Amino acid sequence: MRSVPWWVLLSSTSAPVLLVGGWSVSAELQGPGYDPASSTISILAADGARGYWVMTSALLALGACHVITACGLRPAAVRGRVALAGGGLAAMLLALFPAPTSGGSFSHGVVVAIGFSLLAVWPVLAVRRGRGPAVREWDGGPGAAIPLAADPVPWGLRPVPSAAAAALMWLGGAWFLLALFVLGTAGAAERVITFAQSFWPLVVVVSCVRHQGGRVV
């Protein structure tokens, strides 16, 4: 299993911090008229928003972090790394296709949908399959055996955790649509799902670092 560089740990840790910091500062600049429970993050980066430059910068930095993480996450399958990088590029493209201050935007919606889909599917695309622990029997009999080698695949790249993470993200997407069109709490739903998508790369990276004995190169 290939090692994870130190800068991947830095980029994956920075991603959720930049996202939460960006929407927090932007919401503060936007003033009391902005309701984070009902209003989406995109409004903070819309043309004319008071803190648009903060949220836009945060989205650019977030996307760059995902691209950097994808480049260095060498234990993951290549197709998963490509999907993660694509999700990062989609976040950066939101700066070119900002949401309007009122109403909808088809181009903005397409970029958001593509970015969400890539970040929701990359966990299963990044899965690595390996053998279970090897065992050796003692001469004393078949009942005594010791493991010779640990599972060669880090926890965050195994099928079950990865599928569970992806499933929760897709459920979060359904929750967001319901909140957007029915419940009126799109802001809260969007924050939960975007944070989850920005945090999962860190979970994978940490599991890879732990798997290699806590060493980074």
The pLDDT tens digits of the residues spanning 40-61 come to: 898 898 888 888 899 999 999 9
Higher pLDDT, 30 or 134: 30
Residue 147 has pLDDT above 80, yes or no: no
Written as six digits, the tokens of 22 are 């960006």
Residue 211 has pLDDT above 60, yes or no: yes
| 132: confidence class by pLDDT, cuts 50, 70, 90 | very low
Higher confidence at residue 169 or residue 135? 169
Task: Report phi then psi at 210, rounded to 5.
Answer: -65, -35
Q: Are 191 and 175 in contact (CB under 8 A)?
A: no
Res. 217 pLDDT band, cuts 50 70 90: low
Q: How far, in Å, are 74, 108, 149, 179, 215 from residue 186 at the CA level?
A: 35, 16, 47, 5, 41
Bridge partner list, 134: 149
**Res. 134: pLDDT tops 80:** no
CA distances, 115 to each of 13, 15, 72, 76, 133 (Å): 19, 15, 20, 19, 37
Tell whether the model's pLDDT for residue 69 goes beyond 60.
yes
> Are the CB atoms for 59 and 51 separated by under 8 Å?
no
Give the global pTM.
0.87
What gap in Å lies between CA 111 and CA 193, rounded to an integer?
16
- pLDDT over 50 at 193, yes or no: yes
Residue 212: what pLDDT? 76
Confidence check: pLDDT of 62 > 70? yes
Nearest-angstrom CA–CA distance, 69 and 10: 9
Residue 98: pLDDT over 90: no
